[in-house]
Chain A
Amino acid sequence: MRLRVLGSGVALSLVVGVLAAAGIERAKPPANLPPGVSSVLYQLAVPADAVPTQDKVALGDKLFNDKRLSVDDSVSCATCHDPARGFVDHKPQSEGIGSHRGKRNAPTVLNAMFNATQFWDGRAPTLEAQAKLPILNPIEMGQRAPEDVVKKVQGIPEYVQTFRQVFGRDVNYDDLAAAIAAFERTQYAGDSPFDHYLAGDDKAIGDDAKRGWAIFNGKGRCNNCHAFSIVSPIFSDQKFHNIGIAAHKTDFIQLAAKGVAMVRSGDLEQIDHLALETDLSELGRFLVTKNLSDVGTFKTPTLRNIMVTGPYMHDGSLATLWDVMDHYNKGGVPNPYLDGGMQRIGLSEAEIDDTVAFLATLTSPPFKDFAAQELAAQRGRKDTRPERDTDVALGKKGNLGDLAPDPDLKNPADIGALPPIPPAPGA
């Protein structure tokens, strides 16, 4: 079937108009974006001066994979964001130089260009700002200061030449980050079976996945945070929520008190340090905003390629998508800052299976085989379900009533109905 680009011409020109009125110059989206990648969102997410050019992308690609950026030549960006394996490392928490382990799970680079903010706690506003931090973190790539990085890269003749060609000047830290960001802005997640289903190929996904899509939008309430629309097809609202993961492992109440006391006393350290090396990492977005409403909240991640980016959650504490479903099914883990949207869902085993089947349809073509392996492996663990608490999920324990009866569905896909996707101009 022919590829179609999401986002109509009308919406696109509207966005351009709005941005122009606001005096913001935005990039012209590439002509052949894969299905499932929105040209409207591209306009909103990519500044005009950050449009990836071929030479920048090539340089960024090289830097991204170059261990020499780290202090001891042992770690590159790709160490934790492996391009061949969904741009993640498949470890619960990432390991940096000297096998130091951080507190958080490596998020994928795929579609990271469409994030409103970077990192689990959103502490970096742009890909460029993000790229600079791990290089300098003592437990990631271990460089002490930007000058050290620049000096080291400056000592590699091939880079000196390339930086001159691409940026017309000597190596500097901003350009280095810009090149990496340019590479990252070519890493789309799209063209998945689900995108083809939406574009009209009814056979692109199975009946179980179609039922799962209905659950996703209905009974499962997934879409409230993992928002999907034609304009923003990234399955994320880019907001921060406390879903109770932090309360799993730590005495969260005490931890929150400690964090708040720190804020009150004005005794603040680098967020980067707190987030990666201390228990306060679990306070999430609070470390950035100091807002009480952000205690223990983390950014809603994209769901595209979720099959190949496990383990899951900000700390990688859930091994399989079944575990993730179990976590939500019982309404998360109680804690005083739990998002009020977290309520038990009451999905049956079959409904959980259907939802996972749907999630598996969000895989991009390069990871098709890998995703099949992962799905099989996760299914193989289906009897090991540490997060499952069926009685709580179904309201048989804890007397947590308050669940709507199952809806009568004429056509399961109706509940997730979207407006028809117009063919791309000239498609």
Chain B
Amino acid sequence: MTRTTRLTGIASAIAVAALGIGLATRSGAEDPGHTLPAPAHGGVVVGLCDGQTALELPDLREGATLSHERAQQVSDQLMAEWRAKNPHAAWDEAETVAKADEAAAKTGGSDSASAGAKKAAEAEKAKSTGGGVQVQTYGAFSERDEAIWKAATDDFVHEGDRIFHDAKALGGTIGVSCDMCHPNAANTHPETYPKYQVQFGRVALLRDMINWCIGNPVRGKPLHDDDPKLKALEAYILAQRKGVALDYGKH
């Protein structure tokens, strides 16, 4: 089964991100990025996230920034080019996406749905995606994709689970681990952050409180913001409260 996602959202997020970094588009060391062609005219090359579509701004020098209007033009230009190259991509308008989601929900997902309902959903989707043409690139993902994504996510969460239950992994010096006071991450309330945290006398994020607990009851060294352990702990705690409505600012 193939589904369509909201390309609109993704593409504009990319555009904004690109603008946000002042169009310094060489990829960073950490994330796998796209290789862009070298500028032919001494300007700056801006690329789209498909890794192929790119254009050069010959008048722009590395490190300089664009006006908001100009940046929007660049973004629009790139998207227009991509659309031209991908005339059959599932370029859903918000409304049709909502319909497709609704239909998918009605069928109850791919496994449990009856064959009839499944067919109906696919027919509905075919309509909204432009006549049943197989979509491609980012607009499509399969069950296999989903399985990979889920396993990768679970893996991350499990690592957090492990650290949460292991005083040594937390860097604790007195044998105290998170689960001793927070079984199943109970009473951690990640959905209430940011909030005023009395231990700091100011507003804090979940990771601030994790670090406070590592320093205080656990008696370990607070982790740096970019420490994988901190990220994993955050992942585990958030995963334990999946489905709980966000209610930030709540005590």
Do A and B touch (CB < 8 Å)? Answer: yes
- A residues sitting closer than 8 Å to B (CB atoms) are 217-218, 221, 223-224, 226-230, 232, 237, 401-408, 410, 415, 418-419
Stretch from B88-96, B130-138, B214-222 that touches the partner: B214-222
Other than A224-B200, A227-B200, A232-B201, give 14 A-B pairs with Cβ distance below 8 A: A221-B216, A223-B199, A223-B200, A226-B201, A230-B202, A402-B219, A403-B219, A404-B215, A404-B216, A404-B218, A404-B219, A405-B221, A407-B215, A407-B221
User: B174 at interface (Cβ–Cβ under 8 A)?
Assistant: yes
Q: Once the chains bind, are A229 and B201 in contact (CB under 8 Å)?
A: yes
Q: Which residues does chain A contribute within 8 Å of B219, judged by CB atoms?
A: 402-405
- Bound-complex Cα distance A84 to B220 (A): 46
Q: Which residues does chain A contribute within 8 Å of B198, judged by CB atoms?
A: 224, 227, 237
Could you give 27 example pairs across A and B, Cβ below 8 Å?
Answer: A218-B222, A223-B199, A223-B201, A224-B199, A224-B201, A227-B198, A227-B201, A228-B201, A228-B202, A229-B203, A230-B202, A232-B201, A237-B198, A237-B201, A401-B174, A402-B174, A402-B219, A403-B219, A404-B214, A404-B215, A404-B216, A404-B219, A404-B220, A404-B221, A407-B222, A408-B221, A418-B202
Q: Which residues does chain B contribute within 8 Å of A418, judged by CB atoms?
A: 202
User: B2 at interface (Cβ–Cβ under 8 A)?
Assistant: no
- B residues sitting closer than 8 Å to A (CB atoms) are 171, 173-174, 196, 198-203, 214-216, 218-222, 224
Q: Which residues does chain B contribute within 8 Å of A402, judged by CB atoms?
A: 174, 219
- Bound-complex Cα distance A232 to B196 (A): 11
Q: Which residues does chain B contribute within 8 Å of A406, judged by CB atoms?
A: 221
Residue with the highest number of chain B CB atoms closer than 10 Å, among A221, A226, A407, A410: A407
Q: Which residues does chain B contribute within 8 Å of A407, judged by CB atoms?
A: 215, 221-222
- Bound-complex Cα distance A402 to B196 (A): 27
Q: Which residues does chain B contribute within 8 Å of A218, judged by CB atoms?
A: 215, 222
Q: Which residues does chain B contribute within 8 Å of A221, judged by CB atoms?
A: 216
- Bound-complex Cα distance A218 to B214 (A): 12
Which residue of chain A lies nearest to B220 when distances are taken between CB atoms in the complex?
A: A404
Shortest beta-carbon distance from A36 to chain B in Å:
15
Residue with the highest number of chain B CB atoms closer than 10 Å, among A221, A404, A405: A404
- Bound-complex Cα distance A232 to B220 (A): 30
Contact of A227 among B202, B216, B220 (CB under 8 A): B202
Leading 7 A-B pairs by shortest Cβ distance:
A227-B201, A229-B202, A404-B219, A223-B201, A407-B222, A404-B215, A405-B221
- Bound-complex Cα distance A221 to B203 (A): 16
Contact of B200 among A217, A232, A408 (CB under 8 A): A217
Chain A facing B: main interface SS: loop
Q: Which residues does chain A contribute within 8 Å of B224, judged by CB atoms?
A: 408, 410
Contact of A405 among B173, B196, B200, B203 (CB under 8 A): B173
Q: Which residues does chain B contribute within 8 Å of A226, judged by CB atoms?
A: 201
Which residue of chain B lies nearest to A228 when distances are taken between CB atoms in the complex?
A: B201
Q: Once the chains bind, are A404 and B202 in contact (CB under 8 Å)?
A: no
Shortest beta-carbon distance from A230 to chain B in Å:
8
Shortest beta-carbon distance from B130 to chain A in Å:
45
Residue with the highest number of chain A CB atoms closer than 10 Å, among B201, B220, B222: B201
Shortest beta-carbon distance from B10 to chain A in Å:
30
- Bound-complex Cα distance A227 to B202 (A): 7
Which residue of chain A lies nearest to B172 when distances are taken between CB atoms in the complex?
A: A404
Q: Which residues does chain B contribute within 8 Å of A404, judged by CB atoms?
A: 173, 214-216, 218-221
Q: Which residues does chain A contribute within 8 Å of B202, judged by CB atoms?
A: 223, 227-230, 418
Shortest beta-carbon distance from B218 to chain A in Å:
8
Which residue of chain A lies nearest to B176 when distances are taken between CB atoms in the complex?
A: A402
Q: Once the chains bind, are A419 and B201 in contact (CB under 8 Å)?
A: no
- Bound-complex Cα distance A54 to B155 (A): 67
Shortest beta-carbon distance from A345 to chain B in Å:
11
Which residue of chain A lies nearest to B194 when distances are taken between CB atoms in the complex?
A: A419
Shortest beta-carbon distance from B42 to chain A in Å:
37
Q: Which residues does chain A contribute within 8 Å of B199, judged by CB atoms?
A: 223-224
Which residue of chain B lies nearest to A226 when distances are taken between CB atoms in the complex?
A: B201
Which residue of chain A lies nearest to B200 when distances are taken between CB atoms in the complex?
A: A223
- Bound-complex Cα distance A406 to B202 (A): 22
Q: Which residues does chain B contribute within 8 Å of A415, judged by CB atoms?
A: 222
Which residue of chain B lies nearest to A224 when distances are taken between CB atoms in the complex?
A: B199
Shortest beta-carbon distance from A11 to chain B in Å:
11
- Bound-complex Cα distance A418 to B200 (A): 11
Shortest beta-carbon distance from A215 to chain B in Å:
13
Q: Once the chains bind, are A419 and B203 in contact (CB under 8 Å)?
A: yes
Q: Which residues does chain B contribute within 8 Å of A224, judged by CB atoms?
A: 198-201
- Bound-complex Cα distance A230 to B222 (A): 24
Q: Which residues does chain B contribute within 8 Å of A223, judged by CB atoms?
A: 199-202
Which residue of chain A lies nearest to B199 when distances are taken between CB atoms in the complex?
A: A224
Q: Which residues does chain B contribute within 8 Å of A230, judged by CB atoms?
A: 202
Shortest beta-carbon distance from A400 to chain B in Å:
12
Shortest beta-carbon distance from A388 to chain B in Å:
24
Shortest beta-carbon distance from B195 to chain A in Å:
12
- Bound-complex Cα distance A175 to B182 (A): 54
- Bound-complex Cα distance A402 to B215 (A): 11
Q: Which residues does chain B contribute within 8 Å of A401, judged by CB atoms?
A: 174
- Bound-complex Cα distance A224 to B218 (A): 17
Q: Which residues does chain A contribute within 8 Å of B216, judged by CB atoms?
A: 221, 404
Q: Which residues does chain B contribute within 8 Å of A217, judged by CB atoms?
A: 200
Shortest beta-carbon distance from B216 to chain A in Å:
7
- Bound-complex Cα distance A227 to B196 (A): 11
- Bound-complex Cα distance A43 to B248 (A): 24
- Bound-complex Cα distance A408 to B220 (A): 11
- Bound-complex Cα distance A405 to B172 (A): 9
- Bound-complex Cα distance A410 to B226 (A): 12
Q: Which residues does chain A contribute within 8 Å of B220, judged by CB atoms?
A: 404-405
Shortest beta-carbon distance from A61 to chain B in Å:
33
Shortest beta-carbon distance from B30 to chain A in Å:
17
- Bound-complex Cα distance A351 to B93 (A): 60
- Bound-complex Cα distance A403 to B220 (A): 8
Shortest beta-carbon distance from B124 to chain A in Å:
44
- Bound-complex Cα distance A230 to B201 (A): 10
Which residue of chain A lies nearest to B218 when distances are taken between CB atoms in the complex?
A: A404
